[in-house]
Amino acid sequence: MATLKRYRIMDTAPEMVFNELAQLATNLLAAPMAAIAFIDENRIWYKARVGLEDESSPREESLCTHTLYSRQLLLIPDTRHDEQFKGHPAVVREPYVRFYAGIPLRAANNQPLGVLCVMDHSPREISDGQMNGLRLIGRQIMLQLEMRLRQIELQQQVMRNQSALNDTKEQLRTAMTGQLNARSEADDTRERFQFLTENSNDLITRHSLDGTFIYLSPAVTHLLGYGEDELLGHSPYEYCHPADLPIMREQFSLTLEQAESTTYTYRFRQQDGNYIWLETITRTILDQTTGEPAELIANSRDVSARVVTEQALRESEARFRRVVDQAADAMFLFAPNGRILDVNQEACHSLGYRRDQLTRMVMADVDHDYDEPRYHAIGELELGDSATFETQLARKNGELFAAEVRIGRLDSGEYLALARDISQRSAEQEAVAATARQFQLLAQNWPDYLRVIDLATMQTRFSNRQEFAGLSSADWHPQQLGSRVHPDDHDAVTAHVAR
């Protein structure tokens, strides 16, 4: 608990970076619920949450308590079939958790602080890649916590430094002894500040109000490759990637206008000409006398690995989206409970809905002949297996059309349905059947004897009478005709049959 209190995170206001990391976790697993939770003596408090109403819950009512003291990912594919958790409060009542994956969040001293968890109302399995993705997000959360703590400590140190300097001025006006003491105290303060900046892996900088560098910590060398004095007097705008320059200018202006810290990510040119992704927290330092902005102080760290990971994830999702949107068949990605998670353009076009409308529906809303036992059987499919059936899909305007649907199970535990419009094929089959019925009706009412024979097999395909001219149907078989035809007509009949 002492370690948790040192981070000063409990009951703080929502922060965009933690909200985005929680959302990233839900996107990674395509799940409806996720939380970044910290745990004290009595409760679970959610710093960021997706799909959860309450901002906290008692320890005994959360699955996160079991993850806290674990040293690895806690994975429960189906809580209803887990002897330890099937009667847990979070399983048998809101939020009715069926799937749970939790990563413990541990401080540098290995003390547990909280949990990153992802949940779903339906059971599922996750891939090794998704597990590794959750671990990466967990590390990013701890990096953000450490940076946040260092920023708080640095701001407090700066404020203490400013206070010490003000005290020094007052002492200078009173007496020489006070002056000497104050000078000694100021020296100690500067030494402490210098110690913090020189031993931090983050780059700490001070700026004039126009952004010009007036101080850079030694980290500038290993982070950017510049000497400690090489950037003094220069503006960071000179080194910012042109595409990110508007972001940097906007954030500097916001920091000055609001007198609050801002966090932003951008590319900065290193000494060798390459660009590095930095995440910077900037704060305004106010003049203690006038209350007006005096300078800016910033804490920057290398987030290149995180940005590359996020870009790769976005590009992968974009490639998948392009493939499925170019497919000729309608595609539906749905959860085990039937909730539609995603669709392609053809699904929207063929049914007449927008994507955001379909993702608020379930498969029973679009499958007019929805059969619960059939979908229950689909839920029992093994990975790689599929089921194919014909049904009727319902368009938004109420029109029905015949479709052949093939459903397969994915390794994520979700299901992919491919639906092909077969209304034209069904109409053609019905036309052939109707023609056959008409022929049979006509033949049965034909006044003369009518017999249809397959010449390849010489088998009778159809006969409208069992008896004709005193002969049975079998007697009229071509192989029997030779013995019954008058000798004068034998050659003519044989030639006709041969044709």
Please, which residues have CB within 8 angstroms of residue 273's CB and are 6 or more apart in sequence?
none
C-alpha to C-alpha distance for 55 and 77, rounded to whole angstroms: 25
Can you read off the two tokens belonging to residue 234? 């220069």
CB atoms within 10 A of CB 187: 11
Please, which residues have CB within 8 angstroms of residue 451's CB and are 6 or more apart in sequence?
460, 462, 463, 464, 473, 476
Strands 467-468 and 459-463: unpaired
pLDDT score at 195:
47
Helices (H), 30-73: 64-68
**DSSP type of residue 382:** P
Can you read off the two tokens belonging to residue 31? 């799940």
C-alpha to C-alpha distance for 227 and 238, rounded to whole angstroms: 16
pLDDT score at 68:
85
pLDDT score at 404:
93
Q: Which of helix, strand or coil describes residue 489?
A: helix
pLDDT score at 380:
82
Task: List the chain pLDDT tens, one digit each, 499 residues.
Answer: 788 888 888 998 989 999 999 999 999 999 999 999 999 888 999 999 999 988 999 988 888 888 888 878 999 999 999 998 999 999 988 889 999 999 999 888 888 899 999 999 999 999 999 999 999 999 999 999 888 888 888 888 877 777 766 666 666 566 444 444 444 454 444 555 454 555 567 888 999 999 999 998 888 898 999 988 899 999 999 999 999 999 999 998 888 887 778 899 999 999 999 999 999 999 888 887 888 888 998 999 999 888 888 887 777 666 666 656 677 789 999 998 899 999 999 999 999 999 999 999 999 999 998 888 888 888 888 877 888 899 999 999 999 999 999 998 887 788 999 999 988 765 555 655 555 566 566 556 656 656 666 666 666 655 655 555 556 656 656 666 556 667 777 677 677 666 6
CB atoms within 10 A of CB 403: 25
The secondary element (H helix, E strand) that includes residue 408 is strand 400-409
State the amino acid at position 395 in one-letter form.
Answer: R
pLDDT score at 466:
58
pTM passes above 0.85 = no
